[in-house]
Amino acid sequence: MLSEKMQDALNSQMNWEIYSAHIYLSMSSHFAQVGLAGVARWMDAQYQEEMYHAMQFFKYINEAGGHAKLAAIEAPPYKWESTLAAFEHALEHEQGVTSRINALADLSIEEKSHAVGIFLQWFIAEQVEEEDTVGGIVGKLKLVGDGGGLFMLDNELGSRVFTPPTKA
Ligand code: FEO
């Protein structure tokens, strides 16, 4: 059984994951507009991944005897100054997600809620990967700038396909 406080915190994270999804979907639209189809595709895969994250919270809250409650989602920005600015935004956003997941893990320890702690372990590891992936792209973008290298990177990013993990 989830405490009221834990249920609210898990619901807040579920809705934040949906907000994350909206940011990436908005980025996908932005990159389609500016003619970087590969980056748009990468962002679409990231959107799907964020919705997968949200659904893990949704299922867990209901399975653990709580009630997954959807909330209003703030509109994300719809354009970015450059490809680098968008990925820097993504990195900053992912660092914020990591802090939120860590705060949830702190709450699970505080409440001695071992089941929630186990559920969150996957997300703790996932955030290391998220920050590493986005941080790596930020690094490459700083190297290539806006020249021809950007089109090679667009090609590389366009090969990404989201495949849901078999176990979460
Ligand atoms: Fe769901 Fe990118 O964190």
For the chain, domains (ranges, CATH) are: 4-157 (1.20.1260.10)
Question: What's the longest Cα–Cα distance across the chain?
Answer: 55
Angstrom distance (rounded) from CA 107 to CA 66:
16
Angstrom distance (rounded) from CA 123 to CA 98:
9
Question: How does pLDDT run across 10-59, given as a tens digit for each residue?
Answer: 999 999 999 999 999 999 999 999 999 999 999 999 999 999 999 999 99
Return the half-sphere exposure (C-beta side, CA atoms, 13 A cut-off) of residue 107: 19
Q: Is 83 in the pocket of ligand 1 (CB under 6 A)?
A: no
As given in the structure block, the two tokens for residue 17 are 């994951």
- The closest-lying atom of ligand 1 relative to the alpha carbon of residue 17 is 1
Question: How does pLDDT run across 108-130, given as a tens digit for each residue?
Answer: 999 999 999 999 999 999 999 99
**Residues 6+ positions from 15 with CB-CB distance below 8 Å:** 54, 70, 71, 73
Q: Is 93 in the pocket of ligand 1 (CB under 6 A)?
A: no
